[in-house]
């Protein structure tokens, strides 16, 4: 079964952005928005998130789903890097 460390790795893969698609202000603004969402998760669930040893609980958590074998899947609404942390927060809240 996969753990929160695997979910963290999945989040990193979903958060990849191409700087060529941005001007400096747009990049900075979006980066700050993503950082604020990440801080929100770390503020509310920091100990769980950092330990990473907790097994993933299968189910649907909005746009984030965890398969029976623990494999995470995410279907973005518009743009994954700016949305994924919200759904991670939903998952952690619903499984606490």
Question: pLDDT tens string for the chain (96 positions)?
Answer: 899 999 999 999 999 999 999 999 999 999 999 999 999 999 999 999 999 999 999 999 999 999 999 999 999 999 999 999 999 999 999 998
Q: What is the pTM of this model?
A: 0.92
What number of helices (H) and strands (E) belong to the chain? 3, 3
Measured CA to CA, the distance from residue 57 to residue 67 in angstroms comes to 8
pLDDT at position 36: 97
Structure tokens at 17: 């952005």
pLDDT at position 20: 93
Q: Into how many domains does the chain fold?
A: 1
Query: What domain range is 78 assigned to?
Result: 4-16+24-94
């Amino acid at each position: 079964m996969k753990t929160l460390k695997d979910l963290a790795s999945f989040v990193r893969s979903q958060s990849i952005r191409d700087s060529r698609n941005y001007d400096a202000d747009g990049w900075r603004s979006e980066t700050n928005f993503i950082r604020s969402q990440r801080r929100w998760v770390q503020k509310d669930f920091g100990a769980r998130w950092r330990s990473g040893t907790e097994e993933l609980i299968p189910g649907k958590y909005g746009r984030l789903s965890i398969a029976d074998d623990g494999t995470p899947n995410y279907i973005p609404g518009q743009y994954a890097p700016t949305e994924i942390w919200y759904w991670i927060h939903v998952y952690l809240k619903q499984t606490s």
